[in-house]
């Protein structure tokens, strides 16, 4: 065997005994890395937090029930006060408090178990929501009762339904209702709803909740000022700003004669002489006396 044949044989031997195992090992490593990468991939956005809550049917809701390829089973009805409906072939079916998909599944199960339809496909359309409502009262442009058409209706949504805060409304919102069978009440500062962490304050509205929008806080000014009367107390307004809102002092007014009448915690009115940079409070009455000289 010459030198060239010897080299060819050696190369063939290496291909069989060395190269193939190396290739197999490399493929195994690549598959392991791929499996690890697939396992460590984050879940798609929107799946980690779970599906959006569905609307739950309530007493008085008007619905339309359809069964695919069974038009004779189409029914328009209202959910009774007991949370039930009367459906053909099934009789009384309780769907109050169920989500739309759960109610569809319950009717479909009844049709299937009764051998009325082999593979029923039931769909429910909510025509009018009356079973789940919340009220908005106080200083809003359109007070009243509003249906909760979606399960994730929030405080800002309810306020928008009432056409927002009226010109006489303030920043204090009071929401009351029940949570877990217990009375619930929360006071919310309206501007905080639009801050960086405002989503935490934008609470979910539930059936029977009542939203109250308080009037704006006021102060009163009289005496030797240009425009005596009632003034809206803005956030952080000082005595100096209150005097400016009243048009300032007249020629006969004097800063030494400025007094503020304020109701204390005991309900009694006290006369104080605050500094010009001191903040005013709701209900304060500013009096500017006439200069004697």
Considering the domain boundaries, does residue 260 fall inside one? yes
Tens digits of residue pLDDT in 52-94: 567 889 888 999 999 999 999 999 999 999 999 999 999 999 9
pLDDT average, residue stretch 261-275: 90
pLDDT confidence of residue 33: 41
Which pLDDT belongs to residue 249?
93
pLDDT on residue 152? 86
Using the 3D structure, point to which of 215, 232, 262 is the last residue of a domain: 215
Half-sphere exposure of 240 (CA within 13 A, CB side): 4
Q: Is 218 helix (H, G, I), strand (E, B) or coil?
A: strand
Q: Is the pLDDT of residue 10 over 60?
A: no
Same domain, 258 and 202: no
Q: Are strands 169-179 and 229-232 parallel, antiparallel or unpaired?
A: unpaired
Flag whether the pTM goes above 0.75: no
Taking residues 251-264, report their average pLDDT. Answer: 91
DSSP letter at 118?
S
Condensed to tens digits (0 to 9), the pLDDT of residues 108-119 reads 999 999 999 999
In a domain, 146, yes or no: yes
Q: pLDDT by residue (tens digit) across 195-218?
A: 888 888 899 999 999 999 999 999
Q: Both tokens of residue 143? A: 């007070």
Average pLDDT value over all residues in the chain: 83
188 pLDDT tier (thresholds 50, 70, 90): very high
Cα distance between residue 112 and residue 98, in whole Å: 19
- What is the structure's pLDDT at 293? 63
Q: Count other C-beta atoms under 10 Å from residue 245's C-beta.
A: 19
Structure-model confidence comparison of residues 45 and 67, the more confident one = 67
For residue 175, tell me if it sits in a domain.
yes
pLDDT of the residue at 145 = 94
Coil, strand or helix at 67: strand
Boundaries of domain holding 162? 133-215
Q: Is there a domain that residue 34 lies in? A: no
* Residue 291 pLDDT grade (very low, low, confident, very high; cuts 50, 70, 90): confident
Query: Is 40 inside a domain boundary?
Result: no
Both 239 and 259 in one domain: the answer is yes
Residue at token pair 């020629």:
251
Strands (E) in 180-223, as ranges, are: 182-189, 210-215, 218-223
Tally the domains of the chain: 3
Q: Over pLDDT 90: what percentage of the chain?
A: 63
- What whole-number distance in Å separates Cα of residue 54 and Cα of residue 81? 21
- Both 195 and 252 in a single domain? no
Torsional sign, CA 66, 72, 76, 82: negative
Sign of CA dihedral 229, 273, 216, 192: positive
Contact between 119 and 112 under an 8 Å Cβ cutoff? The reply is: yes
Whether 18 shows a pLDDT value over 80: the answer reads no
Query: Based on the domain organization, do 70 and 138 belong to the same domain?
Result: no
In this structure, are 101 and 143 located in the same domain? Answer: no
Residue finishing a domain among 183, 215, 247: 215
**Could you say which of 215, 230, 256 is where a domain stops?**
215
Cα separation, 140 vs 216, in Å, equals 11
């Amino acid at each position: 065997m010459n030198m060239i044949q010897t080299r060819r044989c050696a190369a063939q031997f290496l291909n069989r005994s060395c190269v193939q195992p190396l290739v197999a090992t490399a493929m195994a490593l690549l598959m392991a890395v791929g499996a690890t990468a697939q396992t460590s991939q984050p879940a798609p956005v929107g799946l980690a937090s779970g599906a959006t809550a569905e609307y739950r049917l309530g007493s008085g809701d008007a619905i339309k029930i359809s069964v695919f390829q069974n038009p004779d089973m189409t029914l328009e009805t209202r959910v009774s006060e007991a949370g039930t409906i009367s459906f053909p072939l099934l009789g009384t079916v309780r769907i109050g408090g169920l989500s739309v998909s759960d109610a569809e599944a319950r009717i479909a199960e009844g049709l299937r178990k009764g051998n009325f339809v082999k593979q029923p496909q039931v769909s429910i359309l909510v025509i009018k929501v009356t079973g789940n409502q919340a009220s908005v009262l106080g200083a809003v442009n359109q007070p009243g009762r509003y249906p909760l058409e979606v399960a994730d209706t929030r405080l800002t949504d309810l306020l928008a339904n009432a056409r927002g805060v009226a010109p006489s409304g303030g920043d204090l919102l009071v929401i009351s209702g029940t949570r877990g069978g217990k009375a619930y009440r929360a006071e919310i500062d309206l501007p905080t709803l639009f801050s960086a962490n405002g989503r935490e304050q934008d609470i979910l509205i539930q059936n029977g909740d009542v939203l109250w929008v308080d009037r704006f806080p006021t102060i009163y000014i009289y005496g030797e000022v240009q425009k005596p009367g009632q003034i809206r107390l803005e956030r952080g307004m000082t005595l100096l700003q209150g005097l400016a809102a009243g048009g300032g002092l007249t020629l006969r007014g004097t800063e030494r004669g400025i007094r503020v009448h304020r109701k204390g915690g005991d309900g009694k009115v006290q006369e104080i002489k605050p500094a010009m940079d001191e903040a005013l409070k709701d209900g304060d009455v500013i009096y500017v006396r006439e200069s004697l000289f």
